[in-house]
Structure formats: structure tokens, C-alpha cells
């Protein structure tokens, strides 16, 4: 007979909160697993009343939404927690922020309501700094990329090497000169499978125009949300935001 965990089942979920956080500076080198581990430890240190799964090996109930890749910074990462006790969102935000390493910064916590977070996010806005790239070269490459209907690239994914088309996912690609010797690429990318990441777009620029930055690009995700007609993104927490000050649960 397999043993069953002794004692009562875990306390029920009384509330859910949604969190927007940033991954900044040297912490951009964290993988999604690293971020998840840091959050689990931070939540324990902040004594956030997490709800746990049942079973021999209970886990805090945390739902992640599309993590930025290792090496990419982000101002707009999202996660949802299930709580076993009421909590005040702003107090939770500041306690969790203080318990996470500097560079994992909790920007906003709101009570969860309405549609699932994943249903409110289908695109990302990126800013990619390209040190060592001249703006005119980038402009030519982007123009060539946008002229095409299809640009295939290859990348190692967790399912092995895959070839996929980058072009349809790119809703917007624009460029400008940065403040020093760098060029800046602005991107709006629709979330697809496999996800098209900034480095895939850069690989595509190499494919179409031979653009090869000599220094590593520095991508920052600025926004995630639902893509609107005009190419902007709707804030996924906007429908929940009015409740930010009240106690949830």
C-alpha cells in the first residue's frame, strides 16, 4: 500500500493575485527556472500565505505566464499566486519585493478577476539595443526583412533543432539611433509556438541582409498584453487594477 500524506488536506484557496515584475541588470541572466526558484524562496521569506498543492510533495500554487528568455531583461513579466489567507496587495508587493534579490523587482500586485491572465496576453513589445551596429545598416536590414513574406531561421529548442518562420509573428519592426554608437530595434512580436524571440529576429536579419552584430544584443521586454488594432498592447492587469488597494479574499 502506498502511504498517504498524514493530516488534513491543504487549506483551500481563498484569493488569487496577479503580479507584474521586472528582471533587470545582471539578473537578466536568470533562466526561468532560476526566477521561479528565487520567487519560491522570496515568498517564504516574506511569509506570503501561499496555497499549496496536495500530495506528498506540496508545491506553492504559482502560475507563470510566458517567461523572458535567459539573457533578456524585462519590465513586464507576469505571474499569478493562489493564497490560503487574505492579503492586502500593496503590502504583499512591498514585502515580496524586499525579499527578492535586487534586480527581481515587484512592480504591481492586483487581485485576480475575470479572464485568465494567459488570455489577456498574446504579444510582446521589445526594445533591443545593438551596441556596435550602425543605424543605417540596421535600417536596411529591417526594410529587407519587412519586404519578405517569410524568413525561416533555425534554433535549438527543448524539442531539438527546429526551423520556423519568423516573419508572420513580427507585427512591427522599427529602428533608430541610440545615444552612443548603438542602434535600437523596436519590435512588437505576436506570441506563437515556438515563441519568436528577439534573437530569432536578429538571426532573420542576418539571413536576409547579413547583419551580424559584433557585440551581443541587449533585449528588454517593455510590455506584454493583448494586441490592439493600432499595434499597441492592452495592459493585462488593467481590468483588475481598480481593486489594487483593497483586501482580497
Q: How buried is residue 166: exposed, middle or buried, by Cβ count under 10 Å (0-12/13-18/19+)?
A: buried
Q: One symbol per residue from 198 to 227: x for binding another protein (CB under 8 A), - otherwise; what is it?
A: -----------------xx-----------
Q: Residues 6 to 25: which contact another protein by CB under 8 A?
A: 6-7
Q: Which residue, 99 or 124, is less far from another protein as judged by CB?
A: 99
Instruction: Output the 3-class SS for 80-127.
Output: EEEECCCECHHHHHHHHHHHCCCCEEEEEEEECCCCCHHHHCCEEEEE
Q: One symbol per residue from 86 to 115: x for binding another protein (CB under 8 A), - otherwise; what is it?
A: xxx--xx-xxx-xx-xxx------------
Interaction of residue 189 with another protein, rule CB under 8 A: no
3-state SS class at 190:
strand
Interaction of residue 178 with another protein, rule CB under 8 A: no
Q: Residues 33 to 92: which contact another protein by CB under 8 A?
A: 33-34, 37-38, 40-49, 52, 56-58, 70-71, 85-88, 91-92
Q: Which residue, 239 or 249, is less far from another protein as judged by CB?
A: 249
Could you tell me how many helices (H) and strands (E) the chain has, helices first? 5, 11
User: Cβ 155 to another protein, closest distance in Å?
Assistant: 15
Amino acid at each position: 500500500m502506498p502511504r498517504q500524506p498524514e493530516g488534513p488536506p491543504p487549506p483551500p484557496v481563498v484569493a488569487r493575485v496577479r503580479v507584474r515584475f521586472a528582471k533587470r541588470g545582471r539578473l537578466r541572466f536568470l533562466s526561468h527556472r532560476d526566477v521561479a526558484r528565487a520567487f519560491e524562496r522570496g515568498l517564504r521569506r516574506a511569509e506570503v500565505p501561499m496555497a499549496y498543492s496536495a500530495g506528498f510533495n506540496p508545491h506553492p500554487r504559482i502560475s507563470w505566464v510566458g517567461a523572458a528568455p535567459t539573457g533578456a531583461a524585462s519590465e513586464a513579466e507576469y505571474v499569478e499566486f493562489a493564497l490560503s489567507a487574505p492579503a492586502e496587495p500593496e503590502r504583499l508587493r512591498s514585502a515580496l519585493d524586499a525579499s527578492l534579490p535586487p534586480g527581481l523587482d515587484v512592480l504591481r500586485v492586483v487581485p485576480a478577476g475575470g479572464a485568465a491572465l494567459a488570455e489577456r496576453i498574446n504579444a510582446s513589445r521589445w526594445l533591443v539595443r545593438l551596441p556596435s551596429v550602425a543605424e543605417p545598416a540596421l535600417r536596411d536590414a529591417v526594410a529587407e526583412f519587412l519586404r519578405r513574406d517569410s524568413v525561416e531561421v533555425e534554433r535549438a529548442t527543448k524539442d531539438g533543432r527546429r526551423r520556423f518562420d519568423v516573419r508572420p509573428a513580427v507585427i512591427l519592426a522599427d529602428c533608430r539611433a541610440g545615444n552612443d554608437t548603438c542602434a535600437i530595434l523596436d519590435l512588437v512580436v505576436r506570441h506563437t509556438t515556438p515563441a519568436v524571440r528577439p534573437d530569432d529576429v536578429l538571426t532573420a536579419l542576418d539571413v536576409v541582409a547579413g547583419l551580424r552584430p559584433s557585440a551581443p544584443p541587449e533585449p528588454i521586454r517593455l510590455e506584454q498584453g493583448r494586441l490592439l488594432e493600432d499595434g499597441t498592447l492592452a495592459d493585462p492587469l488593467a481590468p483588475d487594477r481598480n481593486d489594487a488597494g483593497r483586501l482580497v479574499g
